[in-house]
Amino acid sequence: MEHWPAYESKMKAEGLSDAAINAFKYNFEKLTSGESLFIPESSITAVDSLPTYESLTKEDPSLLGSTVMLKLNGGLGTGMGLEKAKSLLPLKDGATFLDFIAQQVELTREKFKVDLAFMLMNSFSTSADTKKALKKYKGLASADLGLEFVQNKAPKVAADDLAPSSWPKSPAHEWCPPGHGDLYPAMLGSGTLDKLLAKGFKYMFVSNSDNLGATMDLKLLTWFAESGADFAMEAAARTDADKKGGHLANKAGGGLLLRESAQCPDADEGAFQDVTKHKFFNTNNLWVNLAALKATFEASGGVLKLPVIKNGKTVDPRDKKSTKVLQLETAMGAAIECFAKASAILIPRTRFAPVKTTNDLLALSSDAYEVTADKRMVLKAERNGTPPDIKLDGMYKFVDQLNTLIPKGPPSLIKCDKLTVEGAVYFAKGVIFEGEVKVVNAGAKAAKLAAGTYKDQTVTVEARSSSMLSLS
């Protein structure tokens, strides 16, 4: 802990709460202790079965009045080239993630005649844009609660000597998000947890703002309340598309844990990706007993002892020659091992439709998904619970690049199993993909794929024009 006084001074000077400082101190202690941050296969056993959503029957609307619905909204979507909240991306008919979420809350309130409490955990980067976008939804913020609290930031750690990283030409680069496990110290340090408890709230449902399938579900709320659990995770069945996502497992001494890819030793990667062995992944739809959360903080000296994830980066993400640093992060789902009474439930895929890449965005904006009456974005029944597998060329990594691929709107993917695009291609209006299709342009200039139905084939296109937008 040689460098701890420097970290403490730096965080206090930045105005961070004691809860944020204590959380980082715990993570830094874990890093410097020499203790392995990996979770080896030999230390866990697979979870064979879980209770299912389909088995739930009871609904108790009275529980809604003591429940807060929280959305994590701190992500900028930088991986897709965005400089604003990812939740501001338009999806269907110009409606954004935030529009859908606000409408979901309004519909729930109207249906059950209850003022369902709603809050956001924003970041310093998303707060202003988000509040501006939501001004049109009057009364979205519940009385006396406020619409948001803001997540913390953490110092980057110099990889060579573990001192606080320094980057004078851009001091903002010395800080990083501490992962969504920061939800808990951010709630404590902002006073949000105490405020909710003081106003009689008992339960919290939390999910990511980019997952429009994660609505307030009365069956799940009733199950959680009646179960007496302190914490519950909504898990989904892993498919080949979920190999790299964190999976649920049993600890050797009993209880559940979440193992993320970054916590898996290289030697165990095969077992980690074996979806027949580790069958369930974390959707980041979580249910929390607020009193139990407070008690857990108090019992552990104001720190929720989440497993630490160490990510190697450069201090300037855009400059690969800049100083190598470590970012210490935690995952909010990992809190499942911090509670004595924790559980998980297997949910249908309809409650999990996140957007992490432009591949996801293309699928979600296509006719493979539909908007339900309660403003959920779900796979159409014809998909049988399986989204189209989209693999776009790396040149379409960013949203503005994706828009050059589909200047006239997304193609039909309702009957598409797998779509692969290689090279510079743009789709005309009226393109339909069915089965497994690969579209290839080996040339340097962009080529147009003409309107029509393409089924179980490889299509080679050639450029007739240098313009990406010269559609006939």
pLDDT score of 110: 94
- Indicate if the pLDDT at residue 10 is higher than 70: yes
Percentage of the chain lying above the pLDDT 70 cut: 98
Cβ–Cβ contacts within 10 Å for residue 64, how many? 22
Tell me the average pLDDT across 53-63. 97
In whole angstroms, give the CA distance from residue 452 to residue 437.
Answer: 13
pLDDT band at 79 (very low <50, low <70, confident <90, very high): confident
pLDDT score of 75: 85
pTM of the entire predicted model: 0.90
pLDDT band at 471 (very low <50, low <70, confident <90, very high): very low
Over the stretch 248-265, which tens digit does the pLDDT of each residue have?
999 988 899 999 999 999
Is residue 20 within 8 Å of residue 11, measured between CB atoms?
A: yes
Sort 215 into a burial class: Cβ within 10 Å, 0-12 / 13-18 / 19+. buried
pLDDT band at 166 (very low <50, low <70, confident <90, very high): very high
In whole angstroms, give the CA distance from residue 448 to residue 443.
Answer: 12
In whole angstroms, give the CA distance from residue 87 to residue 100.
Answer: 10
Dmax (CA) for the chain in angstroms is 69
Tell me the average pLDDT across 330-346. 96
Q: What CATH class is the domain 358-460? A: mainly beta
Over the stretch 410-458, which tens digit does the pLDDT of each residue have?
999 999 999 999 999 999 999 999 999 999 999 989 999 999 999 999 9
How is residue 430 annotated by DSSP? T
Over the stretch 122-157, which tens digit does the pLDDT of each residue have?
998 899 999 999 999 999 998 789 999 999 999 999
DSSP string covering 264-301, please? S-GGGHHHHT-TTTS-EEEEEEEEEEHHHHHHHHHHTT
pLDDT band at 317 (very low <50, low <70, confident <90, very high): confident
Buried b (16+ CB within 10 A) or exposed e, 246-272: bbbbeeeeeebbbbbeebbeeebeebb
Superfamily designation of domain 4-351: Spore Coat Polysaccharide Biosynthesis Protein SpsA; Chain A (3.90.550.10)
- Indicate if the pLDDT at residue 466 is higher than 80: no
pLDDT score of 80: 84
Closest by Cα among 86, 88, 90, 67 to 78 = 86
In whole angstroms, give the CA distance from residue 70 to residue 62.
Answer: 19
pLDDT score of 349: 85
Q: Which carries the bigger pLDDT value, residue 278 or residue 90?
A: 278
- Indicate if the pLDDT at residue 39 is higher than 70: yes
- Indicate if the pLDDT at residue 468 is higher than 50: no
- Indicate if the pLDDT at residue 287 is higher than 80: yes
pLDDT score of 83: 77
Cα 83 from chain centroid (whole Å): 17
Is residue 390 within 8 Å of residue 422, measured between CB atoms?
A: no
H helix or E strand, kind and range, residue 232: strand 231-237
- Report phi then psi at 151, rounded to 5: -70, 160
Over the stretch 363-418, which tens digit does the pLDDT of each residue have?
999 999 998 888 888 889 999 888 899 999 999 999 999 999 999 999 999 999 99
In whole angstroms, give the CA distance from residue 387 to residue 350.
Answer: 10
pLDDT band at 470 (very low <50, low <70, confident <90, very high): very low
H helix or E strand, kind and range, residue 96: strand 95-96
Is residue 165 within 8 Å of residue 174, measured between CB atoms?
A: yes
pLDDT score of 13: 97
- Domain ranges in the chain are 4-351, 358-460
Token duo for residue 385: 């619970």
What mean pLDDT is reported for the chain?
93
Tell me the average pLDDT across 74-80. 81
Q: Which carries the bigger pLDDT value, residue 194 or residue 464?
A: 194
Is residue 337 within 8 Å of residue 382, measured between CB atoms?
A: no
In whole angstroms, give the CA distance from residue 83 to residue 178.
Answer: 19
Percentage of the chain lying above the pLDDT 90 cut: 82
- Indicate if the pLDDT at residue 340 is higher than 80: yes
> What is the residue whose two structure tokens read 């300037």?
316
For the chain, how far is it from start to end, CA to CA, in angstroms? 66
